[in-house]
Chain A
Amino acid sequence: MPRTLFDKIWDFHLVGQRADGRDLLYIDRHVLHELHAHHAFAQLEKQERPVRRADLTFAVQDHTVATKPGRDENTNPTGTAFIKAMREGCRKNGIRLFDIDDREQGICHVVAPEVGIVLPGATHAVPDSHASTVGGLGALAFGCGTTELAHILATQVMAMKRPKLMRVRLDGKLGAHVSSKDIALRLIADLGVAGARGYAVEYTGPAVAAMPIEQRMTLCNLNIEMGGRSGFVAPDDKTFAWLAGRPYMPQVEMWDRALAHWRTLKTDDGAQFDREVVLDCAGLEPQITWGTDPSQVVGISGRVPEPAAIDQGRRAAAENAFAYMGLKPGTPLIGLPVHRVFIGSCTNSRLPDLEVAATIVKGRRVAEGVFAMVVPGSSSVKREAEAVGIDRVFRDAGFFWGESGCSMCAGGNGDRAQPGERCVSTTNRNFENRQGPKVRTHLASPATAAASAIAGCIADVRQLVETA
C-alpha cells in the first residue's frame, strides 16, 4: 500500500502506544530555549528525574537576548535570570548550549539547521510553536509546551495522537520579488488561522521544488499560523547539498549511508491524504497583512477589505482590527506611512533573506522618520553577511544592524516599537500588542519590508525597483 512520507517517518519512530491510546514517538533531536527551559529543569529536579539523552538535546539563548552591539546577558535586565537559569541547567545536565556569546548563537530555528542538528527524516521538538521551520529540510518537527518539554527531557519521546494529513501543492513559477513568505501569507488567508489545525502538512509541487532551502524553511515556519503543528518538505538534492559538511552532520561513510536512506524519503504515488490543497503561485503578487491576525491578508496592490466582503463569522474580528490598525475599509495599503521596519525572526532572517533586502536597499536611504532594524537570525548569519559587506549596505542606508536573537518578533528582549507606530515586519504574528503596546504590525516579505523602509510607507517592491 502506498505510504506518505509522514507515515514513513512516524511509523519508524513509533516506540509504542500508551495506556491512554497516545502514540509514543521517539524524538531524535530536541532544542531548548531560555524562556521555557528553567521551568522544565525545575520540574525534573523536583521529581528527581534525570535528563535521559543529554547528547540528543541542545539549547540556544534567543528569546530574551539583547540585540545592541556589544550586548551581554545583563543588557536586557529582564532576560538575565532566564539566560543564567538555562546555562545552569545545561551545565548540570551536560547539554550543549549555544550561549549568548557563542559564535554560533542565534534563533534556535535558525541555528539548529545551520550547525547540522536537523536531519531529513528525523523527528525534532522545540518548546516553541515555530518548531516546524526545520521541516524545510525534511525533518518532522513539533512545537510543544513546557510540561511536554520536561516529558521529552525525561523520556526522549512525545505522547501524541497521530494527526490527519494535508498535502499542499504549490504550482506555477513565482514572479520577480515574490517569495515563499508571500505564498505562505496567501495560504493562511485562504485556509484561515485554524485551517490546518489537527493536520500535519506536506508541501509539494513545482514551486516548492524550485525554492531555495531557506524559503522552504520560511514556508514551514508559517505553517503554525494556519494552525498546523507540523509542516515539511520532502528532502531532495538541494537539501542534501545544503546539509553536506555542516558540523553535526554524519561524516564520510556514515554520510553515504544516511544519504542513501534520505533519498528514499518520499511520498509514494497514490498515497492518500485527508485533505488536498492546490495553490497556483503564478501571478501571485507580494502579500501583506492589514489586520491583527495572519489570515487578514491582501495583495500589495489591494485595499483594506470592505466588511461586506468578509465572511459573517469573521466580520466582528475585522471591525476590531480596523480600529486597532487605524485603518478604514477601502484604504489602499500602498502609501500608508510607516514608522518602523523590522527584518529578522525565525521566519525571515537567514542570509538569502538579508541579501534580497540588501539588493533593494543598496545605494538608497531609509526614509526620514523611519527606524529600520535588521537582526540576523544567527551570529553565523551576521558574520557571513559582514564578510560580504551586507552590513555596510544596511548601515550606510541608515538601518540598525544588531546582534542575533528573536528581537522584535515578540519583543521579549525589550526591542519594541512605540504605541501607535506602524511597523512593516518580516515576522510571523501581527497580534495586537505583540511588537509593543498598541503597535500596528504589517507582516510582509524581506523585499517588501526593505522597499517600505526606503519609501517611508508601505510600498510595492516591484515599483520601487522598476522606477529606479
Chain B
Amino acid sequence: MSDDGARLYDELLAGRVSRAELLRRGAAVGLGAPTLAAILAACGGGDSAGSGSSAPGAVAEVGTAVTTPAPTGELDQLKWGLFYEPGPLDWIYDYNYEENTVVTNITESLMRLTPQLSIEPGLAESHSAPDDLTHVYTIRQGVKFHDGSPMTTADVVFSMKRHLDPNSYWAFAYFNVKSIEQTGAWEVTVRMKRPDVIFPALMATPAGGVGPQAYVTAKGKNYGTPTAGPVGTGPFRFTSWNQGANITLTRHDAYWDTAHAPKTKSVVFSFIPEESTMTTGLLSGEIDGAYHTPYSGLSQLRSSSVGTLYLGKSMLFSVIYISTTSGPLANINVRKALLKAIDRQALAKAVYGGAATPLPSTMTPLGQWSYAQSQAEAAFQKLPPPVVDLEGAKKLMQGVDTSGTIVIATRASFQRYINIASIVQDAGKKLGLNIQIKPINPNDYGDIFFSDSARKGIDMFISENYADVPEPLETLYVTVTPQPPNALTYNYDDYNNPSVTSDLQKAVAESDPAKRASLIIAAQSVLADQPATLPLVSPAVPLFLNKRATGAPASFCYLYYPWARDVGAA
C-alpha cells in the first residue's frame, strides 16, 4: 500500500473520511480498485459507500471529487440517463446540458476540458499566442472521422467559420474574431479585433468543435438530426436515435487518443424527464448512471446499496441577478445587508440537499479557476464568509428608506427557486424590507434573461448558471461590466464600478495568467464590498454510478470532455 493509501486508511479508521470519499480520493491519488477494495475489506462493514458521510464537517468535502475509481474491465453496454431529449447533435446548436453530455463524446474540440477542470490540447496539438491579437493552432495529424475520412486543416477552418454565422448558439465566442485562416499545412491562425483571453478558453467547448466539411455540407440543415446523425472524431460514433426514447453510440475503434481508448462497447442514453422516474431507474438498475441526478432523490441515492453517489467539483453557481436601477436595491448597502441576512449555509442544506457549498461574497466558485489556484484560494478565504451577520446587516440599513416593495421572480412550480425566494423574503423581513415573490410561468422564465420587457416590474431573479470554461472572466466579465449593445450580457442593472470595469477590461486583454488573476482578484474584492449580484451557493455535480460501471469523471467536465471513454466495468 502506498503512503497515500496508508494515510487514507488511517483517516477512514478514525472516521474522518467516509467510504465514498475514500473511493474518490483513492482514485484521485491513483490507487487501483484492488487496493481500495482491500482497504474497505479491512475496515469491514457492508453498507453502501455513500452512506457514511453524515458528520456535519463532511459538507466541506462536497464538490471536490473529480474522478471515480478506475474500471477493471470492459463493459458491453452502458445505460445512461438524460433528464430530457437533446435537440440536434450539431455542435453549433449544442448549448445546454444534455446536448453537450452526448455530443462531447462524438464531436471533439480543438482544446479539451479535463476532469480536474483545466484546459488541455484536444484536436489541436498545441496553441500559441505570438501576440495578444493572434492565436495559432497546430492541428493534430492522423485523426480520423467516424466515416473514415481523415481530419484536415480545411475541416478545422470550415468548422470554426460555421460560428461566424449568427445562427450558431456559440457565435458569441467569436465576437472579437477578425479572421480565421489556414496558415500552414497543419496550422490555423485566428486574428482578433481586440485582445480576448476568453476566446482561447472557449475552444474547449463546441465553439472549437470540428466536423467533416464534406459530410456536414452535404447534410445541410439536417446535420445532427436522427436522419443525418453527427459525425466527429470522438471515442464514440452515433449509431441510432429512437426518437422520444433513446440515443445509442458505439465505440469508435479508430479513435486517435489510443491512451484513452474507450472501454465500453456501446452507450445508450435514455430520456427520463420525470425526476422520480430517474431516481427509480437508477435504484432499480435499469440505468447504470446519470449526471445531475435530481436533488429530490439525493437521499435515496446516497443511502442506496445499488451504487455510489458522487458530488463532483463544479463550475455551477446559484445567484440572484439584480435587474433594477431604482428602488431599495439600487442602494449598494441594501444589497450588502440582504446578502449578510441570507442564510447560505441553510440554503445549501435545505434547497440542495447538502449537495452545494455556500459561496462567500463572490459569484466565482473556486472550480472556475484553472490557473493561479493558490492565489485564488487565498483571496477566496479573505472574502466576507457566508455566515449570517444580522447585526452587521442592520447597521448597514440604518437611515435607509425601506418603503416600497422589492419583487423577486421565481419559476413557478420549480421547487428550488421557490424555496430560495422564501429564504430571501425571510431575510428581507428581518431588515424591514418588503420582498414580494412573483412566480413566473416556467415556460417564460428564460425570457427574463433575454428581454428587457420580460424584466419589467422585476427587481431581482434567481438563476442556476455555470461557466463553460474554467476562466473566471467568462461569466464575471459580462455580468459586472458594461457591454456593447450587440454583445451577450448578464448585466441587468447597468452595473458599472470604475475600478471593477477597469480591472476586468485589463484582465480580458491580459495573457499572463498570474497578472490576470491579480486583476480579477482585485475586482472580486471590490465586488464583495459593492455587490453587483447576490451570490448564494455553488451546487456540486451529483453523479450516480451503480456497481456495474465506474470510471466516469465526477466533475463538471462532462459537458465538454469525452467522459464515456473512461467508463468500464467495475
Are the chains A and B members of one assembly?
Answer: no
Residues of A within 8 A of B (CB): none
Residues of B within 8 A of A (CB): none
